[in-house]
Amino acid sequence: MRLPRGFVSAAAWSALSLALLSGPAAATDVALSLSGDHEVPPVASPAKGSGTITIGDDGSVSGSVTTTGIAGTMAHIHMAPSKGTNGPVIVPLTESAPGVWSVPAGAKLSPEQLEAFKAGRLYVNVHSAEHKPGEIRADLQP
């Protein structure tokens, strides 16, 4: 049987609808408020930081943190073995302007790191000469 010109089969329509509805991967925006109180162990510091880090369902990472009251030497996203502990660097941030630390373009979490984010085991901290292990910190809570 020959279908009329312009006719779309039910199967083709379903596939097209699914493609249109699925759209781009969803993302979670995490608002951050960094302070010395959140460091492990806590640090007495007047420094503060704020910003937003966005984590996509595909592991993509973007965003930045702006700091005040600190001469930051470096900043990172870390993955801790458990909540409230320290862990290794997984995404180094770059100072894109004085006191502004940004996620590099194209940064992406591995599947293991994405699961750690969902479990609340990622954090951002900013280091200084006075506090080399980290002066201010905020947990990345989904």
Where on the phi/psi map is residue 23: left (φ > 0), alpha (ψ -120 to 50), or beta? left
d(CA 111, CA 91): 14
Residue 18's pLDDT band (cuts 50, 70, 90): very low
Rounded Cα distance, 86 and 88, in Å = 7
Higher-confidence position of 137 and 20: 137
Mean pLDDT, residues 112-119: 97
Q: What backbone phi and psi angles, to 5 degrees, belong to 62? A: -150, 170
Asked whether the predicted pLDDT for residue 86 surpasses 80, the reply is yes
Per-residue model confidence (pLDDT) at position 25: 61
pTM value is 0.82
